[in-house]
Structure 1
Amino acid sequence: MLPIPTKFTLVVGHGEGDKKLTAFDAALLDAGIGNMNLLRVSSVLPPKCAFENVFKLPAGSLLPIAYGSLTSDVPGEIISAAIGVGIPEDPSSFGMIMEFSGFCTKDEAALKVEEMVREAFAMRSLALKEVKVKSIEHKVERCGSVIAACPLFYETTGGGY
Structure 2
Amino acid sequence: MLPIPEKFTLSVGKGEGKEKLTAFDAALLDAGIGNMNLLRVSSVLPPRCVYVEKMDMPFGALLPIAYGSITSDVPGETIAAAIGVGIPEDADSFGMIMEFSGFCKADEAAQRVESMVVEAFDMRGLKLKEVKVKAIDHVVEVCGSVIASCPLFYKL
Q: Same fold (TM over 0.5)?
A: yes
Q: Distance in 2 between matches of 1:141 and 1:2?
A: 41
Please state how far the C-alpha of 1:124 moved relative to its aligned partner: 0.1
Q: 1:109-147, CA deviations, whole angstroms, 9 ceiling, x for partnerless residues?
A: 000000000000000000000000000000000000000
Residue 20 of structure 1, CA deviation:
0.1
Aligned with 1:149: secondary structure?
Answer: strand
Q: How many angstroms apart in 2 are the aligned matches of 1:26 and 1:130?
A: 31
1:2 and 1:23 map into 2 onto residues whose CA distance is: 32
Taking the aligned partners of 1:83 and 1:132, their CA distance within structure 2 comes to 8
**2:79 corresponds to:** 79
Residue 93 of structure 1 aligns with an amino acid whose one-letter code is: S
Partner of 2:115: 115
Tell me which stretches of 4 or more aligned residues in structure 1 moved more than 3 Å.
Answer: none
Q: Which residue of 2 aligns with 1:69?
A: 69
User: 1 CA distance for matches of 2:60 and 2:110?
Assistant: 30
SS of residue paired to 1:35: coil
Cα RMSD after superposing both structures: 0.3
Cα deviation, residue 96, structure 1: 0.0
Whole-angstrom CA distance in 1 between matches of 2:146 and 2:126: 31
Q: SS where residue 101 of structure 2 aligns?
A: strand
Q: CA deviation at 1:61?
A: 0.1
Residue 123 of structure 1 aligns with an amino acid whose one-letter code is: M
Q: Distance in 2 between matches of 1:89 and 1:116?
A: 18
Alignment of 1:1-161 (within 5 A): 1-156=1-156
List alignment gaps of at least 5 residues for structure 2. none
Q: Distance in 1 between matches of 2:104 and 2:2?
A: 37
Identity %: 76
The one-letter code matched in structure 2 to 1:117 is V
- Give distance in 2, aligned partners of 1:59 and 1:139: 30
Aligned length: 156
SS of aligned partner of 1:68: strand
Aligned-partner residue type, residue 53 of structure 1? E
Residue 85 of structure 1: how far off its partner (Å): 0.1
1:2 to partner: Cα distance: 1.2
Letter in 2 for 1:49: C
TM-score by length of 1: 0.97
SS class of match (2:29): helix
Residues 61-87 of structure 1 show CA distances to partners (whole Å, capped at 9, x for unaligned) of 000000000000000000000000000
User: Quick one: which amino acid aligns to residue 10 of structure 1?
Assistant: L
